[in-house]
């Protein structure tokens, strides 16, 4: 049976640096990313993709706000906005990937799914919303929206009189159509799922599926998918070739090979930033402790070169003990 890999596409797979975020920029970035992944398809891997949606869903929310203020168009709730972004980004990724595969004479079906992800409505994250979304308001506007819509706002540290809506980021527990996703992927189809972490939902007391105003970390969602489909490998593609200890400090050090115990220890010691690398490390640990064989964090351009990337396994492979500083 071919190996099954789940790949989480990070921010630079779609947007990079100071780009404006035009559709042309995003298409070029996505195409370049998939060109660097062609070798996986040629090696026969079965692949499931997840992706982020931060800038895109933020733009959708701001369009919502402008439509309401200028024309009185009712705003759509956050779950609909996430679903919108899943469809739009998924369409773009599917088309760019299809063009790359056609260029290399690789025949694969690609299926994009708008995916609902189950969370616990009593998750502690709902007691402390931290994920900032949408536009920045002044205090008067924020107070008015908080009263009218029940939104929660937090002050922006670097912007005077700047307030931004915050929502919770609960842990993903399961996703709909998991068996179908696994079946399609193992049959050789490429599946795009849990875009933007998926649309968060819960099951109420009447056994109905209900949405929540929340966002789910896409790396944790992708790791959850990897667990549910019993993937062999999990990849997080980001904007650095390795994970670093003491990043951007004088004692910065590349971490190329990590086992579960060392990674857990480094995480507990605060070696990884909560705002960037820590969630990725937590996602990898979650995958490994639930039976995954290997998790890798690296740039898409570096994935094919085995000299790059931080590889996390339960225990060190004897062939991987050539750890070194760079």
**Is residue 18's pLDDT more than 80?**
no
**Quick check: helix, strand or coil at residue 237?**
strand
What is the rounded average pLDDT of the residues 121-128?
96
Q: Among this protein's residues, is 311 annotated catalytic?
A: no
Burial of 223 (0-12, 13-18, 19+ CB in 10 A): buried
Return the SS3 of 254: strand
Catalytic residue among 3, 87, 88, 131: 131
pLDDT tens digits, residue range 203-220?
Answer: 999 999 999 999 999 999
| Per-residue pLDDT reduced to its tens digit, 232-275 | 999 999 988 999 988 888 888 999 999 999 999 999 998 888 77
Beta bridge partners of 136: 164
Which H or E element spans position 244? Answer: strand 243-245
230 is catalytic: no
Q: What is the percentage of the chain residues whose pLDDT exceeds 90?
A: 77
135, 139, 145, 150 alpha-carbon torsion, rounded to 10°: 100
280 in catalytic set? yes
Please check whether residue 268 is in contact with residue 214, taking contact to mean a CB–CB distance below 8 angstroms.
no
- Of 310, 313, 311, the C-alpha closest to 254 is 310
Active site residue: 12, 29, 36, 64, which one? 12
Of the candidates 53, 64, 218, 228, the residue annotated as catalytic is 218
Q: Which of 280, 282, 294, 311 is catalytic?
A: 280
pLDDT at 317 over 70: no
Is 326 a known active-site residue?
no
pLDDT interval class at 319 (50, 70, 90)? low
Domain residue ranges of the chain, discontinuous segments joined by +: 1-117+176-237, 240-326
CATH for 1-117+176-237, options being 3.40.920.10, 3.40.1160.10, 3.20.20.70, 3.40.50.300 = 3.40.1160.10
The one catalytic residue in 11, 67, 88, 162 is 11
**Would you call 171 a catalytic residue per the annotation?**
no
306 band by pLDDT with thresholds 50, 70 and 90: confident
Under 8 Å CB-to-CB from 32, ≥6 apart: which residues? Answer: 300, 301
The DSSP code sequence of 144-194 is HHHHHH--EEEE-TTSTT-EEEEEB-PPP-EETTHHHHHHHHHTT-EEE-S
């Amino acid at each position: 049976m071919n190996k099954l890999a789940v790949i989480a596409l990070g921010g630079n797979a779609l947007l990079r640096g100071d780009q404006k975020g035009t559709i042309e920029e995003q298409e070029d970035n996505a195409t370049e990313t998939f060109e660097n992944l062609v070798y996986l398809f040629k090696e026969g891997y079965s692949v499931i993709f997840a992706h982020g949606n931060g800038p895109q869903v933020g733009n959708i929310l701001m369009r919502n706000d402008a439509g309401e203020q200028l024309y009185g168009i009712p705003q759509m709730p956050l779950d609909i906005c996430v679903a919108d972004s899943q469809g739009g980004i998924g369409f773009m990724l599917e088309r760019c990937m299809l063009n790359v595969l056609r260029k290399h004479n690789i025949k694969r079906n690609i299926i994009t799914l708008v995916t609902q992800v189950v969370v616990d409505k009593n998750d502690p994250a709902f007691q402390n919303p931290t994920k900032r979304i949408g536009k920045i308001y002044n205090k008067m506007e924020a107070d008015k929206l908080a009263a009218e819509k029940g939104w929660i706002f937090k002050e922006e540290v670097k912007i005077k009189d700047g307030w931004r809506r915050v929502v919770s980021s609960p842990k993903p527990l399961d996703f709909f159509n998991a068996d179908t996703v696994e079946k399609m992927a193992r049959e050789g189809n490429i599946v795009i799922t849990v875009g933007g972490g998926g649309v968060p939902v819960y099951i109420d007391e009447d056994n109905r599926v209900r949405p929540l105003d929340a966002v789910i970390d896409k790396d944790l969602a992708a790791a959850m998918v990897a667990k549910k489909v019993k993937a062999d490998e999990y990849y997080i593609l980001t904007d650095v070739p390795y994970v670093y200890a003491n990043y951007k400090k004088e004692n910065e050090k590349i971490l190329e090979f990590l086992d579960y115990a060392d990674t857990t220890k480094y995480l507990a010691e605060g070696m990884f930033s909560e705002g960037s690398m820590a969630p990725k490390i937590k996602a990898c640990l979650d995958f490994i402790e639930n039976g995954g064989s290997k998790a890798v964090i690296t740039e898409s351009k570096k994935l094919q070169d085995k000299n790059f990337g931080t590889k996390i396994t339960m225990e060190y492979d004897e062939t991987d003990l050539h750890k070194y500083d760079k």
